[in-house]
Structure 1
């Protein structure tokens, strides 16, 4: 028969070890470093890009309409 208490204790200890490991610190530091690097770049979000693409399509349609009326 399986001892569920043993497995629960082992799982808890493993989770605690991972949470306190240097790998966790490395992950946090890497994320912070990447976020800092991306903040220095002139990037836009996907939502901003989509809005600008829609505006561009509307402007292109207006220009095409103006060119056909001349």
Structure 2
């Protein structure tokens, strides 16, 4: 999950790789990296972990229901084919 702390850490890492001759600009670059990352990630259509987990549970329940219905259908088809035809 991407949090403000994650963005801060990533911005600091990017600023840390700035050449040592540009130490004065490192802090400003760190702030700029942070702003760019926050803006860029904000534009992405991301879901929270909670939303993802909720949808995962819905999908699992739906899959279980489909499997149950498939078993019921197979049983009905078997019972129909087992009945004598007149």
Q: Structure 2 length as normaliser, TM-score?
A: 0.51
Q: Distance in 1 between matches of 2:34 and 2:50?
A: 22
Q: Which residue of 2 aligns with 1:54?
A: 57
Of the candidates 64, 67, 70, which is equivalent to residue 67 of structure 2? 64
By relative contact order (CA 8 Å, sep 6+), the higher-ranking structure is: 2
Unmatched 5+ stretches in structure 1: 1-20
Q: Which moved more, 1:59-68 or 1:41-50?
A: 41-50
After TM superposition, give the deviation of residue 44 of structure 1 in Å: 1.1
Q: Which residue of 1 aligns with 2:40?
A: 37
After TM superposition, give the deviation of residue 52 of structure 1 in Å: 0.9
Unmatched 5+ stretches in structure 2: 1-23, 74-86
Corresponding residue pairs, total:
50
Q: Distance in 1 between matches of 2:70 and 2:32?
A: 55
| CA RMSD of superposed structures (Å) | 1.4
Secondary structure of 2:47's aligned partner = coil
Q: Which residue of 2 aligns with 1:27?
A: 30
Q: Structure 1 length as normaliser, TM-score?
A: 0.61
Q: Distance in 2 between matches of 1:59 and 1:65?
A: 10
